[in-house]
Structure 1
């Protein structure tokens, strides 16, 4: 109350100027806290229509403040702010790479409206334009979406003044669905016609194998008699069609476990046929665990219809949760792992003491086996699925491909762990 009274007195009772007076006072107060360490905070995310995704880390000084409603609202609004500013690429102007600044300067210096200006004036105009351009690229320089009379950095400083702790916007990542992927229109009528023609060619020979199967041969034993109850149980456990379940049980002699595996393999085989189709639609999803670990992931499919289906959404959600549960995972697949990582792993394995006594040819095989295992630990698709560790994530994806009838690609993901950049810097300084 006394601060408000003083502000109004200082500004002659002008309410707008008094608000500005208080904001400036708040900013000055916030600046004093800027040197305090920020090792706590929150990981937050914002997903817009499953097509734009933001993952952000904001730090503060204590866990108590990080769990408060004011700080939580700050993190949520910052994530939304980043989503609303597609041109933003960095936190502050100082983060913009030198090559970007040099390129902007080169472009501005060649603009025709500067040619008639004196050299010293031209330089000032260019620097002003560059400064404006860099501010367009920086999140903290954007007009705040809930109050465009202030920029984001001032709003952060106001929050500092309110809660009494230093706050640092540490980092953010934005995913735009399908960015960089080539999208093409598909002629579905031609595709259906091609599939129909293929079935017509295959149809004349269909009856003969069926007769042979019914009779049985020397090489193929007669199929087991399958009860309706067993078919029903398999159908409930797998979601497969009744005839598929009956055939699977018949092929595996009524063994329920083997029949499940048979159906899975059949699904995987069907999925492989679709792997060449273009996947440029899909979803961006996120999963935040206790505000301390966050994952942003993009999974692509062929059509927007499938991308909005519940089964595809469940897959994306499960994959995001899977990444959170696997801190060692750094890549989508083994093929994504850089050659430099493979070489380093081989060097480490070749120097292991337990290999020194082994013959050269045996040593090489052991090393290759260990490297293969290690690379599998780094790849998301090679992990046991957290909801069913009898299958790998890549098998889960292929089962979903078979169920939905479209190609699916896990394109990319990013994981933030609260304070991990601070810990890395601390370790390097201690070293």
Structure 2
């Protein structure tokens, strides 16, 4: 398969690896982008985690709280940032969030088939079609998630004017302003640091095994490290896995507002628990970032003109 400059550029943006390394990885994997990322990781030429999305689409995320125990977050995409700043579009996204927090739909298809909350004579899908016609740009309700706290509360946070939407579900016998403020701080942490799990109990053995394989491959490809005794290598892998866990597990992350620069989120919540006289524990969180994981076609004006001239 011919490897284009745009493919090399995309892989470089995903991994931070050098241009020639990216070209080699794509050549070795016959242009398979995901396989090329793995290739670079195993050779120690890429970061442990690739960026959340290859190319960001436009649009907004919005959150809606029904009460202290029920909330929803939605993502609605547009083609351009210009439309994302449009008041009609923003109001529509807000209405979609209201729809979601009152919805019992189990999936997006069921959600789109529901009666629209502001005009029950039409469905959510029909309202979307009308908005596309009114705004003059393709719009997509990409996803939604509704959460409920059975033994505690839910807090929300929106970052970057709607670029990121976060919900935090917590278990606690005490729900007051102190608890809500603390959980909002945690939601800000999630928006900024993008953890994958609440704690290590959520991480599967398959995930750990895969990361160990990557680390072992990196060590074997290092002329110095590969010569170390097996037990030393096992210790190195364990240490690096523990370091990664501290980055991807919320409670193990260093709290961004920690005065000493060392306090973890878990320790911060323990401090809050003592202050309010009740355990405050994060049960789950939801983090939506606009456009994450969406491919967006890059328009090459020069190539388009050349193609038209050759017609």
Name the TM-score, length of structure 1 as normaliser.
0.53
Who is 1:349 aligned against? 215
**1:349-397: CA deviations, max 9, x gaps?**
1222242111112111111111111111110111111112231111100
Q: Judging changes above 3 Å, is the alpha-carbon distance between structure 1 residues 298 and 337 closer, same or farther for their aligned structure 2 residues?
A: same
Counterpart contact for 1:287–1:317, Cα < 8 Å: no
Counterpart contact for 1:40–1:419, Cα < 8 Å: yes
- Structure 2's unaligned 5+ residue stretches are 1-55, 299-311
- For 2:196 and 2:252, locate their aligned partners in 1 and report how far apart those are by CA, in whole Å: 12
Q: Does 1:80 align with 2:98?
A: yes
CA-CA distance at 1:298 after TM superposition:
0.5
Who is 2:123 aligned against? 151
- For 2:243 and 2:117, locate their aligned partners in 1 and report how far apart those are by CA, in whole Å: 48
CA-CA distance at 1:424 after TM superposition:
9.5
SS of 1:384 mapped into structure 2:
coil
- For 1:68 and 1:319, locate their aligned partners in 2 and report how far apart those are by CA, in whole Å: 30
Who is 1:108 aligned against? none
Q: Does 1:410 align with 2:277?
A: no
Who is 1:190 aligned against? none
- Structure 1's unaligned 5+ residue stretches are 1-37, 93-137, 179-279, 427-431
Who is 2:178 aligned against? 311
Counterpart contact for 1:61–1:165, Cα < 8 Å: yes
- For 2:227 and 2:83, locate their aligned partners in 1 and report how far apart those are by CA, in whole Å: 57
Q: Judging changes above 3 Å, is the alpha-carbon distance between structure 1 residues 370 and 425 closer, same or farther for their aligned structure 2 residues?
A: farther
- For 1:295 and 1:424, locate their aligned partners in 2 and report how far apart those are by CA, in whole Å: 24
Q: Does 1:89 align with 2:106?
A: yes
157, 161, 166: which one aligns with 1:286: 157
SS of 1:385 mapped into structure 2:
coil
CA-CA distance at 1:172 after TM superposition:
0.6
Who is 2:149 aligned against? 177
**1:52-109: CA deviations, max 9, x gaps?**
1111110111101111110000000001011112x211121xxxxxxxxxxxxxxxxx
- For 1:168 and 1:424, locate their aligned partners in 2 and report how far apart those are by CA, in whole Å: 14
Counterpart contact for 1:51–1:176, Cα < 8 Å: yes
Who is 1:338 aligned against? 204
Q: Does 1:381 align with 2:242?
A: no
Paired residues, number = 237
**1:144-192: CA deviations, max 9, x gaps?**
11111222111111111111111110001110112xxxxxxxxxxxxxx
Counterpart contact for 1:175–1:298, Cα < 8 Å: yes
- For 2:84 and 2:171, locate their aligned partners in 1 and report how far apart those are by CA, in whole Å: 34
Q: Judging changes above 3 Å, is the alpha-carbon distance between structure 1 residues 53 and 42 closer, same or farther for their aligned structure 2 residues?
A: same
Give me the CA root mean square deviation.
1.9
**1:124-148: CA deviations, max 9, x gaps?**
xxxxxxxxxxxxxx11111111111
- For 1:425 and 1:342, locate their aligned partners in 2 and report how far apart those are by CA, in whole Å: 34
- For 1:364 and 1:151, locate their aligned partners in 2 and report how far apart those are by CA, in whole Å: 57
Counterpart contact for 1:177–1:284, Cα < 8 Å: no
Report the structure number with the largest CA radius of gyration: 1
- For 2:237 and 2:293, locate their aligned partners in 1 and report how far apart those are by CA, in whole Å: 32
- For 1:346 and 1:425, locate their aligned partners in 2 and report how far apart those are by CA, in whole Å: 35
